[in-house]
Every structure is written in C-alpha cells, then in structure tokens.
Amino acid sequence: MSSHDHDHDHHHDHPVRADQAPTEYEYLENAVRELLVEKGLITPDEIRAAVEKMDRTSPERGAKLVAKAWADPSFMDFLMSDAPAAAEAMGMSLKANHLPADLVAVANRPGHHNLVVCTLCSCYPRMLLGVPPDWYKSRAYRSRAVREPRKVLAEFGTVLPEGTAVHVHDSNADLRYIVVPMRPEGTDNYSEDELAALVTRDTMIGVTVPQI
C-alpha cells in the first residue's frame, strides 16, 4: 500500500494504549487455531514452539541491518531497492521466519519522516523487530497514527522540525515496512556495533528517533 502524507493535527481524547478486550481478529485467530488442531493439521506443541521462536527474535537483527546501511552507502542503496535480498545478504533469512509478505525499507531524511502502522490488525516484520508491542496492536494506535500522526509522535516524545512531512505506511498481509532512521550527528567514528546500539524497535517503526 502506498504511503500517505498527513500534515495536519486533530484533537483526540484517547491516548495510545493497549485495548483490554480481545479484538475481532484475535477471536478469529483463536477459532482458526482451534480448528487446525481439531483437524490434526498442527499440534499445540508445534504452535507453542513457533510462538517461542518468535518470542526469541529481537530487534537486534533489524538494528544490525540499519547500522550496516548507515555505515555503507552502497548497502543502503541495496536495502532500499531490495530489502529482502539485503537481509538475506546479512544472513537474515526471511523465509525461515515464514514471512508471507514482501518487505520494504523506507528511509527518513531531512523534511521527510516515516511512520509504520497496520490499520487492519498487527502486520509487522517480526523476523527483524521481534514481537510487536501492545501499543502497536491497539485500536487506538491503529486509528490515530493515520488521523493524527504528529500528535501520536509527540506522545512518544518525538517532535519533528517545522515543515517535516510525515508519511504513514500501512502494513498488510502482502507488504511489511521497516523504517531506516536518520543517522545521528556525531557518530562518524562509531563502529557498526556501536551504531546498532543506537537503533531500537521504536525507531524502526518510526515513533522515535535514535539518540546518542
């Protein structure tokens, strides 16, 4: 899905938070899972093992990808043109994580800030960022990130320079996004490991920016 510019603010009474009640999609997931087990297509142990594998995945993989792009302009070009191939080149097999969607990297630059959301449910590149936070899955974030992105960013402590356009990217079952934040000033002599330490899950979603 293409990105959209949102340069206006709206007032809204609900902060970004996790919803208490299960969503329609969570009910659907439970029903499908129970049906698959009942039909003998998968076992509870296999489901548990898959969940545990996802839980072990951390944002460090995505951070290493971003750090490599910061340190190597040619790799940045590679990442922007073919994110799955760039990840594979660093030994991060997306196929092994059963990603059913394409992956696109979007880069922040002066005057241009990217923010990722899944307005339908919680589509998210788990193989690079780990388990999505509760707020990313919440109805509040899913609706407000599109309608009032600047206000949502401000709630995360991210106040953009005047004139910066905010581009909101809506993930779905066919397409996932990872934000490549701008490299902080004063990091010219940093190693890739030191650069990766500055990159967090939230910076790769776009709600915050890296800090030294």
Backbone CA torsion sign across 74, 201, 19, 17: negative
Would you please indicate which residues are annotated as catalytic (active-site) residues?
Answer: 118, 121-123
Q: Cα–Cα distance between 205 and 183 in angstroms, integer? A: 15
Q: Cα–Cα distance between 109 and 168 in angstroms, integer? A: 14
Residue 57 has a CB neighbour count (10 Å cut-off) of 17
> What is the C-alpha R_g of the chain?
18
Which H/E stretch holds residue 34?
helix 24-38
In the numeric block, which tokens belong to residue 125? 């590149």
